[in-house]
Amino acid sequence: MNSNTQKIVGGSLLLAALIALPHFLKFHHQDLLIFLTINVLAVSSYRIVTLTGEWSLIHAVMMGVGGYTAALLFKYYEVGMWVTLPMAGILTAAVAALLCFPLFRTTQFYFLIGSFAAGEAIRLIWIQFVFPFGGTGGLSGVEPPMVGEIDFMESIPYYYLALSVVLLCLFILYLIENSRIGLTLHAVHWKAALAESVGVDTWRYRSLAFVIGSFFVGIAGALKVHYLGTITPNQFGVGFMVFILIWVIVGGYNKFYGPILGAVVLTLFDESIRGFAEVRPAIYGAVLILSILFLPLGLESIPSKFKAWSGIGKERDPLSLTDK
């Protein structure tokens, strides 16, 4: 009861801060805030895919699938963002569902490579087929909506729009993770054979996690393209995939908020090394290596490590299923 009130108070404070935040920022930083908001959805949706223990390398491309869906619908069918947003999610999920048939016949290393190959194939298709995808140059002129007086082309309104969509998505992801389905995904991860012996169709649950993750990252892709206005195949290449990996790993993938923490902290870090544009990838590479070597459970694990060290509480992934 007490902890519930705490949660509500904390949540409201956080929400208030998020709402107030853009008014204290310069334009450039408002921009950044919007991308960060979108990237938070990208990493959180990736987390649900990894819950089953399978690390895919196609997540960035799936975000692109969502982005291209939105861009194509907008350009060729002239439908607005209110339609393209859900459609991006649905279509990305559909593509993911098709990919499940080949990809989830494999696991682990084979899945990793298979997902990478499938992603590259999709990206090359965008490059190859200038109609409708626009080739290497991609598509441009995708606009956000206009509602009465509010022009979402402006940063602050768009930020509020993206924030509400992302928060809603995060809430749903959180509910899924803490439901029976979440427990089963964990079970598939830790001991697939045992799960199967009590009737869990592991193929279905791996696929389910992948489709759900793709749905939400598809929405993230649509949010991105409507703000940026343009979309190109290279936005969703290995480079971006690696960023997702870095955010998730540096933040810590054992808890729901770990990847979000990673995205936020590293975006701030990224801002601080803006001056060293040329060597930025190398700095990222070093951060990735160092965190794997010295903080394999991510930033998220620091408080519990500290607690364990000072003897306050035990390190443990809280996996409570339903509210007791």
Partner 1 sequence: MELIFQSLINGLIQGGFFALFAVGLVLIFGVMGVVNFAHGELVMVGAYTVWLLHAQHGLSYFFAIGVAVVLVTLIGLFMERFLFRPTQNDPLAGLICSIGMLFILQVVATLVGGEGPSKQVPPPFHGTWVLFEYLRIPYQRIFSLLISFFALSTLWYFLTRSKLGWALRAVSLDKEASALQGININRISMIAIGIGASLAGLAGALMAPLTNINPHMGHNVIITAFIVTIVGGVGSLSGAVLAAFLYALFHTFVTVYFGGTIATICGLVLMVVVLIVKPTGIMGTRISE
Partner 2 sequence: MPVLEIKNVSKQFGGLMALNNISFQVETGEIRGLIGPNGAGKSTMFKNIAGFYATTKGEIVYQGQNISGHKPHAIAEMGIVRTFQETTLFQELTVFENVLVGCHIQARSNLFSAIFKLDKPRQNIARDQVLEVLEFMGLSERQEQLASELPLGSQRALAMSIALASKPKLMLMDEPFAGMNPEETLHMMELTRKVQESGMTIILVEHDMKAVMGLCDYLTVLNFGQLLAEGTPAEIRNNDKVIEAYLGGSK
Contact 317, 272 (CB under 8 A): no
CA quadruple 112, 237, 121, 63: dihedral positive or negative?
Answer: positive
Q: Is 105 in the site for partner 2 (CB under 8 A)?
A: no
Q: Is 202 in the site for partner 2 (CB under 8 A)?
A: yes
Measured distance CA(195)–CA(186) in Å, rounded: 10
Residues 208-237 that bind partner 2 (CB under 8 A): 208, 212
Q: Which of 16, 146, 194, 286 is the binder for partner 2 (CB under 8 A)?
A: 194
**Binding region for partner 1 (CB under 8 A) out of 13-21, 200-208, 276-284, 297-305:** 276-284
Tokens at residue 250, please? 């540096």
Measured distance CA(45)–CA(237) in Å, rounded: 18
Closer CB to partner 2, residue 96 or residue 263?
A: 96
Q: Smallest gap, in angstroms, from Cβ of residue 46 to partner 1?
A: 14
Q: Is 107 in the site for partner 2 (CB under 8 A)?
A: no
Non-local (6+) Cβ contacts of 24 within 8 A are: none
Residues 103-122 that bind partner 1 (CB under 8 A): 103, 105-106, 109-110, 112-114, 116-118, 120-121
Q: Which of 8, 9, 124, 321 is the binder for partner 2 (CB under 8 A)?
A: 321
Residues 119-178 that bind partner 2 (CB under 8 A): 172, 175-176
Contact 103, 115 (CB under 8 A): yes
Tokens at residue 101, please? 């048939």
3-state secondary structure of 322: coil
Q: Is 303 in the site for partner 1 (CB under 8 A)?
A: no
Beta-bridge mates of residue 231: 139
Q: Smallest gap, in angstroms, from Cβ of residue 183 to partner 1?
A: 23
Phi-psi region of 314 (alpha: psi -120 to 50; beta: other; left: phi over 0): beta
Residues that bind partner 1 (CB under 8 A): 55, 101-103, 105-106, 109-110, 112-114, 116-118, 120-121, 124-125, 127-128, 193, 238, 242, 245, 249, 278-279, 281-282, 284-289, 292-293, 296
